[in-house]
C-alpha cells in the first residue's frame, strides 16, 4: 500500500543569513539583484524580490561569522501547522514556539539532526506596494525595479550536512518532503539529495559536507526565469569587482541554469536563469544518478565546478591539514 503523503508544508517562506558585512550584503542584493528593503529591526535587514508576495523572503543579520540563521517554511493551513508541530515534538526536534517576527505571526522552531535551525508558520504579512510602486499587472506585487538585474522570487536553499541520509530522512518524515533527485555513492548512500514540497524539483537540497562539519549553509538561490539574465548580471558583477565562482552553466540534476557568486557578507548565492522542469506527477519516481551517469549530473554544459565549491560553506571552515 502506498504511504499517504504528508501535505502540510506549502513552500519556502524565508531564509535568514548571517553576514560579516551587513551594509555590503544589503547593497549587493539591492543594487546588483534589484531586491527591495522592506524593513530594518535591530541588527537585521528584511528584504524581498519584486515577485515575492510576502513582506520579506530574506533576512540579513549582522554577525561575526557568515552562515545560516534560520529557514522559514509556511504550512498549508493552521491545522497543518499544528500537525507538524506534534510530529516534530514526537521526534524530539522541537525548540519551541515564538510569538512571531517581522513579517509573520507565531512560529514553531526546530532543528534538523545536523543542527540547521528552521521554523514553520502560517500567518504571514503580505507586501503592500506604495502608490508609486503599484503596477497595472495585477498578478505582480509591485513594479519591476529599474536597478541591477532584478531577481523575481526566492527559489531554494542548499544545506551541507555531516550525514546526508539522516537529514534527508528527517525532512521526509517530519515535514513531508519528497526526494526528487539524488546522487548516490557505490553503497547507495546519498552524496546529495534534492527535495521539495512544491512542484519545483527542489525547495531544499542536502549535500554531504566535504569537511565533515555540521549545520553549514552551502547557498541560497533566487530565480530569474530567463537564462539571458545570468549573462546580464555576470557583466555587472565582474565590473563591480566580484569573482564569479561558477557559471553561467546548466546542471544535469534539476536542469537548472545557474551562476554562483559569494556576496560581501561571505555567503554563496546561486542565481537561477531557469529552474529547470516542474513536477506534477504524484507518483514521481526519484531520479538517481550514480556511476557513469555522474558525468552529466552536476554539469550538463558549461565549465566544471571548482574544488572549493564542494568545501566552501558558511560558517567558513578549513580543511584539516595533512599530518
Closest CA to 115 of 75, 160, 155: 160
C-beta of residue 220 within 8 angstroms of C-beta of residue 59: no
Residue 173 to residues 4, 168, 169, 228, Cα–Cα distance (Å): 12, 9, 6, 38
Per-residue pLDDT, averaged over 201-218, amounts to 96
Q: For residue 291, what pLDDT band results from cuts at 50, 70 and 90?
A: confident
Least confident of 15-24, 69-78, 223-232, 289-298: 289-298
| Residue reference for cell 542548499 | 158
Q: What is the pLDDT of residues 218-263, one digit of tens each?
A: 999 999 999 999 999 999 999 999 999 999 999 999 999 999 999 9
Q: What's the mean per-residue pLDDT of the chain?
A: 95
Q: What is the pLDDT of residues 292-319, one digit of tens each?
A: 888 899 899 988 899 999 999 999 998 6
106 CB-near residues (< 8 Å, 6+ apart)? 97, 98, 99, 100, 121, 123
Residue 223: its pLDDT value, please?
97
Residue 320: its pLDDT value, please?
52
Report the C-alpha dihedral over residues 318, 319, 321, 323, rounded to 10 degrees: 150
User: How many CB atoms within 10 Å of residue 224?
Assistant: 25
Residue 272 to residues 31, 87, 247, Cα–Cα distance (Å): 18, 33, 10
C-beta of residue 225 within 8 angstroms of C-beta of residue 268: no
Q: How far is CA 80 from the centre of its chain?
A: 22
Rg (CA), the chain: 19
DSSP-H helix ranges across the chain: 22-27, 78-90, 164-170, 228-239
C-beta of residue 313 within 8 angstroms of C-beta of residue 216: yes
Residue 13: its pLDDT value, please?
98
C-beta of residue 28 within 8 angstroms of C-beta of residue 263: yes
Query: Whole-angstrom distance between the N-terminal and C-terminal Cα of the chain?
Result: 53
Percent of the chain beyond pLDDT 70? 98
Q: What is the pLDDT of residues 113-150, one digit of tens each?
A: 999 999 999 999 999 999 999 999 999 999 999 999 99
Amino acid at each position: 500500500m502506498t504511504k499517504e503523503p504528508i501535505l502540510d508544508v506549502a513552500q519556502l517562506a524565508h531564509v535568514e543569513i548571517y553576514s560579516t558585512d551587513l551594509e555590503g550584503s544589503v547593497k549587493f542584493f539591492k543594487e546588483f539583484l534589484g531586491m527591495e528593503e522592506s524593513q530594518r529591526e535591530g541588527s537585521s535587514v528584511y528584504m524581498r524580490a519584486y515577485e515575492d508576495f510576502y513582506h520579506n523572503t530574506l533576512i540579513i543579520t549582522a554577525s561575526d561569522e557568515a552562515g545560516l540563521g534560520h529557514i522559514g517554511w509556511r504550512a498549508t493551513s493552521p491545522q497543518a501547522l499544528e500537525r507538524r508541530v506534534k510530529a516534530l515534538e514526537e521526534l524530539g526536534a522541537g525548540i519551541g514556539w515564538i510569538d512571531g517576527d517581522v513579517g509573520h505571526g507565531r512560529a514553531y522552531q526546530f532543528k534538523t539532526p545536523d543542527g540547521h535551525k528552521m521554523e514553520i508558520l502560517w500567518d504571514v504579512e503580505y507586501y503592500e506596494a506604495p502608490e508609486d510602486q503599484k503596477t497595472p499587472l495585477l498578478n505582480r506585487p509591485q513594479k519591476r525595479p529599474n536597478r541591477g538585474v532584478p531577481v523575481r522570487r526566492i527559489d531554494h536553499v542548499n544545506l551541507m550536512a555531516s550525514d546526508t541520509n539522516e537529514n534527508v530522512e528527517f525532512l521526509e518524515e517530519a515535514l513531508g518532503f519528497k526526494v526528487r533527485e539524488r546522487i548516490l555513492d557505490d553503497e547507495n548512500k546519498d552524496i546529495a539529495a534534492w527535495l521539495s514540497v512544491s512542484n519545483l524539483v527542489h525547495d531544499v537540497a542536502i549535500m554531504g559536507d566535504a569537511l565533515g562539519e555540521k549545520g553549514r549553509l552551502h547557498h541560497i538561490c533566487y530565480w530569474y526565469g530567463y537564462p539571458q539574465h545570468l549573462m546580464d548580471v555576470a557583466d555587472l558583477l565582474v565590473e563591480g569587482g566580484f569573482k564569479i565562482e561558477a557559471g553561467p552553466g546548466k546542471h544535469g540534476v534539476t536542469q537548472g541554469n545557474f551562476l554562483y557568486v559569494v556576496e560581501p557578507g561571505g555567503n554563496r548565492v546561486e542565481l537561477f536563469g531557469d529552474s529547470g522542469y516542474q513536477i506534477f506527477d504524484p507518483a514521481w519516481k526519484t531520479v538517481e544518478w550514480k556511476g557513469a551517469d555522474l558525468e552529466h549530473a552536476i554539469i550538463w554544459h558549461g565549465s566544471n565546478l571548482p574544488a572549493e565549491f564542494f568545501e566552501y560553506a558558511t560558517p567558513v571552515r578549513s580543511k584539516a591539514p595533512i599530518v
